């Protein structure tokens, strides 16, 4: 029931938002809808997630063997929680931005939420593919209508690139469908196929490439910095905090259970790619002047670690990754809120043109410093737990991967501190002369994020509890073959 | 009747002449004539083979009806040829009205 | 009482929250009061804890707060370990910390009240992190405190954030610390792989069963972390730059507490190091090399704080030398005495800077003895202590280290002694140029010269007293039997480690000779330096070999050339060539090739009827051939 509600509420809310008039009315309505999802999820979590609440199944395309079945296990619960928490914060922190034709804007945002939720919940292959594309389309429209100057070319590239990946996945999915004993797309049926040989490897790589493009990991990442840069920041928040988790989650729910043998056989390549991506992206981040591009590359580095952690066949590392899904989402959201504010109020995103915000906007600076430190995984912040466990797993897998990947923590300190220094410290520049401090709505969102950073940094036990069973189940897939 | 080879060679010759005409001639009406030539070559061949098959069977049972499908098909081809010619000639008349020539090379003006 | 140990870090944390959140609303006196009172409260609880520990003798008490990480086989609790070593450090941190808070109340009074409160908030946060570091019952909690003090160091060095150079110094400190932290983290992972746990009790219990190679690897990686945090070769050059921060910060963080984290860590892990003699040698050699290198640089520095900074690096080198030769108690003893006299010296320097209205160049000072009596006297006592003149504290702690060094390898002793002589020289050069001779500053400055307020002089006096008497906690065998109270106190910590070490001892007659010669030599150098620099201060710019020393052996430039520049070039190359032209070029290339093939295909649509018919015919021929000869 809860699973179904989590998808229905944004869809219905989005349709309603399209009909409404008046910008404030639309914004308030969207906020209420997102809070409703948050409420539903909280009620579910607080009462303990019973199977009745977390699963839902109904007939859909019987002739094709596809049913509308949803299922929320521990890891999807974490991600659904992230989504329902992120959306109110996104809407609240961009409250003061005006978007022309805001009805369409907020409706599309809510549809995107429905699509993302669907990806996290789908338990049927065709339904999963359906939601995978459904999440992409509103985002494409959002970026291409409300984006920056180069938006058309950039979003077009983003759409085609991601779509090619999805088509590869569809091809693999259909192949698997024909191999299933009962001609159905259900997760359990697809899992029973376990293809081998050349065809099995090919299907595995098709799926992997689709997810790799979405995450993104090196070398499929080049769409990301441009898209993040050109999208309106609210959409970047959705892309960066939520949509990348779609790719990672798809590995957890679809790639590894369906192809455990291939996952083990190719683990060195994938982990190696991810580690290279971590260093590569961190080095590139050193050279970025545009704030959005800096955070985009930093994000690639973080995602690289999470992607690597999923293939280590290590329960502790995978648990760390599951926790990091939430932590990274929350932390990167904090960074984007600051970037959005700076872009709106100071008109520039270039770090070379900014400076001295600490004297003009102290609250902003402090919150920025805290969130940035969370991004470099300072202990007692939520990101540290995940990173520690993941690096530990990486070390157990192969010492050299851990050493090379560990260099990224040094690089991340360099570019993050560079960012803080260029933005907050030093003398006030022309652009920041007229700066004002964060408005209350954005400050409130940031405070929520900061609280989450420290509470879960000191007491991560709830997340361990939530994900424990799902992760244990995942490990059995690895070892079963 | 004559050996079937003669008919085959004649039909092939006519067909080839027709094809070469279609490919190389510039006048639209000549092209139509060549298309007719091709169709008639095929008709000739069909009738010849019909006779051949009947001839083989007629020694045993004179009232057999083998080979009649081919002659029926010839009528179909003739009907289609007639229809196609009428439509085609109408198009050529329209073309002539516009560019005052029946040279097909001028048709690339449609591209612009 | 020991259960109350959680209060010790809690008090400064509360102080941080109050001063941090309320910085716009609190007046300066309230902010200073809150900050100092919290640390004082922590100090009082630390005394009670110490008392408990003295009575409990050998047993360490573990206070578990909650489960931090519990997943699969991995269990790491958020727990504190109270024993002699942590209790001692608690006392030093909170005691010296309180004095410095008191001092800061007057020193920082020029700041506006919100920045003033911010300062105390950061300072309290630092004390909190340092306490976590020494209280942790496992390496992860230690690591949390380890990074926490690095953060606070960054925040405090860059406290006056409008200045870009200060910001760069802060960044440098954080990044170099991070490099060390990577080593520490790798050691943690290795430990987890080897022992399955990070708790001290479990690691030390299982250590003798592990291979020497594994222990050596772990300890070397831990030492890499220590070189970052405690400013040893090769990660030491952040410390002199860190003098950009306010002087009380330099006193607390970069003299008394944060930089001693590395020594604490190795002292805590003494069993591991004893089991890996190679690591001990590495520690000793690196420590000794750093001690000499830093001392040589200090000879030629003209900024009062920079001299003290290099002096700190040098003294830390001695502490590592002590650890490396097995003088664990000696090293910890030196940590304690050094905390007293180095904090004293820094605070004294702060007092001078305050009186000279922010002048830090000793070439512009001189003759301050009469104008700043208390500062002068306490500073002089600090100098005598650091030079190692008996019966001041520095003598006892340094000689304990040097004696153990002699017992291990006499060459360590000779080099170490040379360093001690250089130390005496540059310290008294500093003293003489600052307080003796004629005043070389401007008349403006001469006018404003006055002694500092009581909040600044009281800590100076207290620290001076401690610098004088603290040595009597560690009277060596040579002078009196069983009088080394500190050794007796810390014995349980180092007991297991000592059982694996061969005992070296220097026989008493050699020790007398060495001690006697060293004291005489030091007194001679002191007298020489005092005299020379009082009469003829070092005013010219250095030249020749002196220039190399003044330019710090060009190490910063070396690092810039070997590490920073290549990294930036690599990043630039990757950005321009690999990313834009390479990978992205490939992706865009796919798009462009699709467009190209479309253009080529479009040529088929020529508008020529003849070619269309030709293609049709050819296609038909192809189909006929294919179907007749059954190719597919």
pLDDT in tens, C154-175: 999 989 988 888 999 999 999 9
Contact C70 A286 (CB under 8 A): no
Looking at residue A66, its pLDDT comes to 84
Looking at residue C267, its pLDDT comes to 93
Determine which of A318-322, A416-420, C397-401, C442-446 has the lowest per-residue pLDDT on average: C442-446
Which residue of chain B has the CA closest to C607?
B108
Token pair 């083989």 is found at B56
CB A31 within 8 A of CB A92: yes
Mean pLDDT along residues C385-401:
89
- Give the span between the Cα atoms of A68 and C573, in whole angstroms: 50
Sequence-ordered list of residues with C-beta below 8 angstroms from that of A438, at least 6 positions apart, any chain: A341, A361, A363, A364, A367, A446
Sequence-ordered list of residues with C-beta below 8 angstroms from that of C422, at least 6 positions apart, any chain: C292, C295, C296, C298, C299
Structure tokens at A161: 């690139």
Q: Give the 3-state DSSP-derived string for chain A, with helices as H, strands as E and coil as C.
A: CHHHHHHHHHHHHHHHHHHCCCHHHHHHHHHHHHHHHHHHHHHHHHCCCCHHHHEEEEEEEHHHCEEEEEECCHHHHHHHHHHHHHHHHHHHHCCCCCCCCHHHHHHHHHHHHHHHHHHHHECEHHHHHHHHHHHHHHHHHHHHHHCCCCHHHHHHHHHHHHHHHHHHHHHHHHHHHHHCCCCCCEHHHHHHHCCCHHHHHHHHHHHHHHHHHHCCCCCCCCHHHHHHHHCCHHHHHHHHHHHHHHHHHHHHHHHHHHCHHHHHHCHHHHHHHHHHHHHHHHHHHHCCCEHHHHHHHHHHHHHHHHHHHHCCCCHHHHHHHHHHHHHHHHHHHHHHHHHHHHHHHHCCCEHHHCCCHHHHCHHHHHHHHHHHHHHCCCCCCHHHHHHHHHHHHHHHHCHHHHHHHHHHHHHHHHHHHHHHHHHHCCCCCCCCCCCCCCCHHHHHHHHHHHHHHHHHHHCCHHHHHHHHHHHHHHHHHHHHC
- Give the span between the Cα atoms of A139 and A235, in whole angstroms: 7
- Give the span between the Cα atoms of C259 and C240, in whole angstroms: 12
Structure tokens at A146: 């409300």
Looking at residue A352, its pLDDT comes to 86
Does one domain contain both C27 and C88?
Answer: yes
DSSP classification of residue B105:
G
Contact C607 B110 (CB under 8 A): yes
Contact A425 C164 (CB under 8 A): yes
Compare CB distances from A315 to C72, C161, C193 and report the shortest one's residue: C72
- Give the span between the Cα atoms of C1 and C340, in whole angstroms: 27
Does one domain contain both C340 and C488?
Answer: yes
Closest CA to A467 of C72, C197, C73, C78: C72
Q: Looking at the domain assignment, is residue C63 inside a domain?
A: yes
Does one domain contain both C201 and C245?
Answer: yes
Looking at residue C2, its pLDDT comes to 64
Whole-number percent of chain B with pLDDT over 90: 63
Does one domain contain both C587 and C543?
Answer: no
The interface predicted TM-score of the complex, written ipTM, equals 0.92
Instruction: Please check whether residue C613 touches A, CB under 8 A.
Output: no
Contact A425 C158 (CB under 8 A): yes
Does one domain contain both C513 and C374?
Answer: yes
Closest CA to A101 of A137, A140, A141: A141
Q: Looking at the domain assignment, is residue C162 inside a domain?
A: yes
Peptide linkage before B50 cis (omega within 30 of 0):
no
3-class DSSP state for residue C582? Answer: helix
pLDDT at position C212 over 70:
yes
- Best residue in B25, B108, B110 to probe C by mutation, most C CBs within 10 Å? B108
Closest CA to A335 of A236, A409, A217: A236
Contact A283 C144 (CB under 8 A): no
CB A69 within 8 A of CB A465: no
pLDDT at position C345 over 80:
yes
Of the residues C550, C580, C599, the one at which a domain ends: C550
Other CB atoms within 10 Å distance of the CB of residue C58: 10
Give the pLDDT of chain A (481 residues) as one tens digit per residue. 888 888 999 999 999 998 888 888 899 999 999 999 999 888 888 877 776 677 888 888 878 888 888 988 889 999 999 999 999 999 998 888 888 888 999 999 999 999 999 999 999 999 999 999 999 999 999 999 998 888 898 999 999 999 999 999 999 999 999 888 888 888 888 888 888 888 889 999 999 999 999 989 988 998 999 999 999 989 999 999 999 999 999 999 999 999 988 888 899 999 999 999 999 999 999 989 899 999 999 999 999 999 999 999 888 999 999 999 999 999 999 999 999 888 888 888 888 888 888 888 888 889 999 999 999 999 999 999 999 999 999 999 999 999 998 999 999 999 999 999 998 888 888 877 777 888 888 889 999 999 999 999 999 988 888 888 888 888 888 776 5
- Cα A299 to the chain's mean position, in Å? 10
- Give the span between the Cα atoms of A51 and C520, in whole angstroms: 83
Looking at residue C441, its pLDDT comes to 78
Structure tokens at C259: 């930089």
Q: How many domains does chain C have?
A: 3
Average pLDDT across chain C, whole number: 89
pLDDT at position C56 over 80:
no
φ/ψ (deg, to 5) at C479: -95, -40
Looking at residue A47, its pLDDT comes to 77
Determine which of C177-186, C288-297, C358-367 has the lowest per-residue pLDDT on average: C358-367
Does one domain contain both C504 and C573?
Answer: no
Looking at CA atoms only, how far is residue B41 from chain C in angstroms?
A: 17
Contact C574 A280 (CB under 8 A): yes
DSSP classification of residue C366:
-
Closest CA to A174 of A202, A134, A203: A203
- Give the span between the Cα atoms of C546 and C549, in whole angstroms: 5
Does one domain contain both C207 and C352?
Answer: yes
Within 455-494 of C, beta carbons closer than 8 Å to A belong to none
Closest CA to C99 of C230, C256, C306: C256
- Give the span between the Cα atoms of C234 and A284, in whole angstroms: 26
- Best residue in B27, B104, B106 to probe C by mutation, most C CBs within 10 Å? B104
Q: Give the 3-state DSSP-derived string for C534-567, with helices as H, strands as E and coil as C.
A: HHCCCCCCCCCHHHHHHCHHHHHHHHHHHHHHHH
CB A191 within 8 A of CB A151: no
Closest CA to A442 of A96, A109, A23, A110: A96
Phi-psi label, residue A347: left if phi above 0, alpha if psi -120 to 50, beta otherwise: left
Does one domain contain both C357 and C267?
Answer: yes
Instruction: Please check whether residue B92 touches C, CB under 8 A.
Output: no
Query: A61 has which bridge partners?
Result: A66
Structure tokens at A107: 């409706």
Instruction: Please check whether residue C74 touches A, CB under 8 A.
Output: yes
CB C36 within 8 A of CB C101: yes
- Give the span between the Cα atoms of C556 and C301, in whole angstroms: 15
- Give the span between the Cα atoms of A232 and A292, in whole angstroms: 11
- Give the span between the Cα atoms of C66 and C77, in whole angstroms: 6
Looking at residue A52, its pLDDT comes to 66
Count contacts between B and C (CB, < 8 Å).
24
Looking at CA atoms only, how far is residue B50 from chain C in angstroms?
A: 23
Q: Looking at the domain assignment, is residue C418 inside a domain?
A: yes
- Give the span between the Cα atoms of A51 and C312, in whole angstroms: 63
Q: What is the pLDDT of residues B12-40, one digit of tens each?
A: 999 999 999 999 998 999 999 999 999 99
pLDDT at position C38 over 90:
yes
Q: How far is CA C557 from CA C157, C310, C571, in A?
A: 21, 17, 20
DSSP H or E stretch at residue C93: helix C84-107
Token pair 């600044």 is found at C456
Chains that touch C (3 or more CB pairs under 8 A): A, B
φ/ψ (deg, to 5) at C198: -110, 0
Does one domain contain both C299 and C437?
Answer: yes
Q: What is the pLDDT of residues C543-556, one digit of tens each?
A: 778 888 888 888 88
Q: What is the pLDDT of residues C457-515, one digit of tens each?
A: 899 999 999 888 888 888 877 777 777 888 888 888 888 888 888 777 778 888 888 88
Compare CB distances from C182 to A284, A287, A406 and report the shortest one's residue: A406
C182: chain A residues, CB-CB within 8 Å: 406-407, 409-410
Looking at residue C437, its pLDDT comes to 83
Looking at residue A481, its pLDDT comes to 52
- Cα C33 to the chain's mean position, in Å? 27
3-class DSSP state for residue C242? Answer: helix
Contact A395 C591 (CB under 8 A): no
Domain spans, chain B: 4-105
Looking at residue C1, its pLDDT comes to 61
Mean pLDDT along residues C360-371:
85
- Best residue in A284, A316, A363, A410 to probe C by mutation, most C CBs within 10 Å? A410
Mean pLDDT along residues C242-263:
88
DSSP H or E stretch at residue C65: strand C61-71
Contact B104 C609 (CB under 8 A): yes
Does one domain contain both C308 and C318?
Answer: yes
Q: How far is CA C172 from CA C176, C183, C237, C549, in A?
A: 6, 17, 9, 21
Answer whether C touches B (≥3 Cβ pairs < 8 Å). Answer: yes
Looking at residue A328, its pLDDT comes to 95
Instruction: Please check whether residue B111 touches C, CB under 8 A.
Output: yes
CATH of domain B4-105: 1.10.287.3510
Domain that holds residue C106: 1-67+75-137
Within 294-313 of C, beta carbons closer than 8 Å to A belong to none
pLDDT at position B86 over 80:
yes
Q: What is the pLDDT of residues C65-77, one digit of tens each?
A: 888 888 878 899 9
Looking at residue A186, its pLDDT comes to 86
Other CB atoms within 10 Å distance of the CB of residue C370: 10
Instruction: Please check whether residue B22 touches C, CB under 8 A.
Output: yes
- Best residue in C606, C608, C610 to probe B by mutation, most B CBs within 10 Å? C610
Max mean pLDDT range (A143-147, C111-115, C531-535): A143-147
CB C258 within 8 A of CB C268: no
Hey, what's the torsion of the CAs at A367, A371, A377, A380, to 10 degrees? Answer: 50
CB C396 within 8 A of CB C476: yes
Closest CA to C472 of C308, C345, C340: C340
Does one domain contain both C260 and C332?
Answer: yes
User: Per-residue confidence at C632, pLDDT binned at 50, 70, 90?
Assistant: low
Contact B111 C605 (CB under 8 A): yes
Looking at residue C505, its pLDDT comes to 76
Compare CB distances from C171 to A223, A385, A421 and report the shortest one's residue: A421
Compare CB distances from C610 to B19, B23, B111 and report the shortest one's residue: B23
Query: C71 has which bridge partners?
Result: C74
């Amino acid at each position: 029931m809860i699973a179904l509600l989590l998808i229905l509420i944004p869809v219905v809310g989005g349709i309603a938002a399209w009909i409404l008039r008046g910008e404030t009315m639309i914004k308030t309505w969207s906020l209420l809808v997102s809070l409703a999802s948050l409420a539903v999820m909280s009620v579910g979590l607080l009462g303990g997630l019973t199977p009745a609440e977390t699963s839902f199944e109904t007939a859909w395309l019987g002739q094709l063997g596809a049913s509308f079945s949803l299922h929320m296990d521990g890891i999807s619960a974490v991600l659904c929680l992230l989504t329902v928490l992120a959306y109110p914060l996104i809407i609240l922190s961009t409250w003061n931005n005006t978007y022309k034709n805001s009805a369409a804007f907020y409706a599309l945002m809510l549809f995107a939420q429905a699509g993302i939720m669907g990806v996290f919940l789908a338990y049927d292959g065709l339904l999963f593919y359906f939601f995978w594309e459904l999440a992409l389309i509103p985002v494409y429209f959002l970026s291409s209508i409300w984006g920056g100057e180069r938006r058309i070319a950039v979003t077009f590239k983003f759409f085609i690139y991601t779509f090619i990946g999805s088509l590869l996945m569809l091809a693999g999915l259909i192949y698997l469908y024909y191999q299933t004993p009962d001609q159905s797309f259900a997760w359990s049926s697809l899992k029973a196929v376990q293809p081998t040989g050349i065809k099995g490897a090919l299907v595995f790589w098709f799926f992997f490439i689709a997810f790799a493009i979405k995450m993104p990991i090196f070398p499929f990442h080049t769409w990301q910095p441009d898209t993040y840069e050109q999208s309106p920041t609210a959409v970047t928040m959705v892309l960066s905090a939520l949509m990348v988790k779609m790719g990672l989650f798809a590995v957890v729910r679809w790639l590894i259970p369906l192809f455990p043998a291939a996952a083990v056989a190719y683990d060195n390549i994938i982990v190696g790619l991810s580690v290279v991506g971590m260093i590569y992206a961190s080095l590139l981040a050193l050279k970025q002047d545009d704030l959005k591009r800096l955070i985009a590359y930093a994000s690639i580095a973080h995602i690289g670690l999470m992607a690597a952690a999923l293939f280590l066949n290590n329960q502790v590392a995978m648990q760390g990754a599951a926790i990091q899904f939430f932590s990274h989402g929350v932390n990167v959201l904090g960074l984007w809120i600051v970037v959005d504010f700076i872009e709106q109020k100071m008109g520039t995103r270039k770090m070379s043109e900014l400076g001295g915000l600490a004297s003009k906007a102290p609250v902003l600076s402090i919150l920025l410093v805290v969130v940035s430190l969370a991004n470099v995984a300072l202990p007692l912040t939520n990101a540290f737990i995940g990173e520690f466990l993941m690096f530990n797993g990486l070390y157990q897998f192969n010492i050299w991967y851990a050493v090379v990947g560990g260099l990224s923590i040094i690089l991340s300190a360099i570019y993050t501190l560079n960012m803080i220094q260029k933005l907050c410290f030093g003398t006030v520049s022309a652009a920041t002369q007229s700066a004002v401090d964060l408005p209350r709505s954005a400050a409130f969102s940031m405070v929520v994020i900061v609280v989450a950073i420290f509470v879960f940094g000191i007491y991560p036990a709830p997340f361990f509890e939530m994900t424990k069973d799902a992760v244990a189940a995942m490990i059995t897939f690895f070892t079963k073959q | 009747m004559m050996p079937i080879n003669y008919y085959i060679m004649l039909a092939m010759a006519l067909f080839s002449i027709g094809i070469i005409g279609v490919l190389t001639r510039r006048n639209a009406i000549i092209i139509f004539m060549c298309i007719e030539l091709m169709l008639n070559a095929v008709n000739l061949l069909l009738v010849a083979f019909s006779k051949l098959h009947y001839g083989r069977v007629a020694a045993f049972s004179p009232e057999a009806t083998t080979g009649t499908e081919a002659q029926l098909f010839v009528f179909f081809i003739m009907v289609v040829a007639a229809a196609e010619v009428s439509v085609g000639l109408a198009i050529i008349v329209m073309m002539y009205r516009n560019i005052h020539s029946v040279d097909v090379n001028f048709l690339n003006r449609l591209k612009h | 009482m020991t259960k109350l140990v959680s209060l010790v870090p809690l008090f400064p944390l509360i102080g941080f929250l109050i001063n941090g959140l309320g910085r716009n609303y609190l007046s300066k006196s309230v902010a200073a009061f809150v900050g100092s009172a919290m640390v004082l409260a922590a100090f009082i609880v630390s005394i009670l804890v110490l008392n408990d520990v003295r009575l409990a003798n050998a047993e360490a008490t573990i206070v578990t707060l909650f489960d931090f990480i519990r997943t699969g086989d991995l269990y790491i609790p958020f727990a504190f370990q109270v024993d002699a070593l942590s209790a001692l450090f608690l006392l030093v941190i909170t005691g010296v910390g309180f004095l410095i808070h008191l001092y800061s109340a007057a020193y920082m009074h020029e700041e506006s009240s919100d920045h003033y409160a911010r300062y105390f908030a950061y300072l309290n946060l630092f004390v909190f992190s340092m306490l976590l570091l020494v209280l942790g019952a496992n390496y992860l909690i230690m690591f949390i405190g380890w990074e926490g003090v690095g953060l606070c160091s960054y925040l405090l060095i860059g406290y006056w954030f409008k200045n870009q150079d200060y910001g760069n110094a802060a960044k440098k400190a954080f990044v170099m610390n991070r490099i060390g932290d990577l080593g520490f983290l790798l050691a943690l992972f290795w430990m987890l792989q080897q022992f399955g746990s990070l708790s001290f009790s479990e690691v030390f219990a299982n250590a003798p069963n592990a291979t020497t190679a594994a222990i050596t690897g772990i300890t070397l990686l831990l030492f890499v972390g220590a070189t970052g945090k405690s400013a040893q070769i090769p990660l030491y050059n952040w410390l002199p730059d860190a003098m950009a921060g306010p002087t009380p910060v330099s006193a607390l963080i970069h003299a008394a507490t944060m930089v001693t984290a590395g020594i604490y860590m190795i002292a805590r892990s003494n069993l591991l190091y004893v089991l890996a003699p190679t690591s001990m040698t590495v520690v000793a050699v690196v420590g000794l090399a750093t001690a000499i290198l830093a001392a040589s640089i200090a000879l030629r520095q003209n900024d009062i704080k920079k001299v003290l900074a290099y002096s700190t690096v040098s003294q830390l080198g001695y502490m590592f030398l002590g650890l490396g030769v097995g003088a664990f108690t000696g090293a910890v003893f030196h940590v304690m005495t050094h905390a007293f006299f180095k904090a004293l010296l820094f605070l004294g320097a702060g007092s001078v800077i305050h009186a000279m209205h922010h002048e830090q160049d000793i070439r512009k000072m001189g003759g301050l003895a009469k104008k700043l009596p208390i500062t002068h006297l306490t500073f002089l006592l600090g100098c005598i202590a650091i030079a190692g003149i008996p019966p001041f504290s520095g003598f006892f702690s340094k000689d304990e280290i040097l004696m153990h060094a002699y017992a291990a390898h006499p060459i360590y002793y000779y080099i170490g002694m040379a360093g001690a002589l250089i130390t005496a020289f540059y310290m008294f050069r500093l003293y003489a140029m600052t307080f003796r001779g004629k005043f070389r500053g401007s008349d403006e400055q001469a006018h404003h010269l006055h002694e500092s307020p009581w909040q600044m002089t009281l800590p100076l006096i207290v620290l001076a007293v401690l610098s004088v008497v603290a040595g009597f906690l560690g009277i060596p065998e040579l002078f009196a039997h069983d009088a080394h109270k500190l050794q007796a106190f810390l014995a349980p910590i180092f007991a297991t480690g000592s059982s694996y070490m061969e005992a070296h001892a220097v026989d008493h007659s050699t020790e007398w000779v060495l001690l006697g010669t060293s004291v005489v030599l030091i007194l001679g150098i002191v007298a020489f330096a005092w005299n020379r620099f009082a009469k003829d201060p070092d005013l010219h710019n250095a030249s020749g070999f002196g220039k190399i020393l003044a330019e710090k052996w060009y190490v910063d430039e070396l690092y810039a050339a070997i590490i920073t520049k290549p990294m930036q070039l690599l990043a630039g190359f990757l950005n321009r060539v690999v990313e834009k032209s390479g990978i992205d070029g490939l992706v865009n290339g796919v798009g462009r090739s699709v467009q190209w093939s479309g253009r080529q295909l479009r040529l088929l649509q020529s508008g020529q009827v003849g070619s269309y018919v030709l293609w049709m015919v050819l296609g038909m021929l192809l189909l006929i051939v294919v179907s007749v000869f059954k190719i597919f």
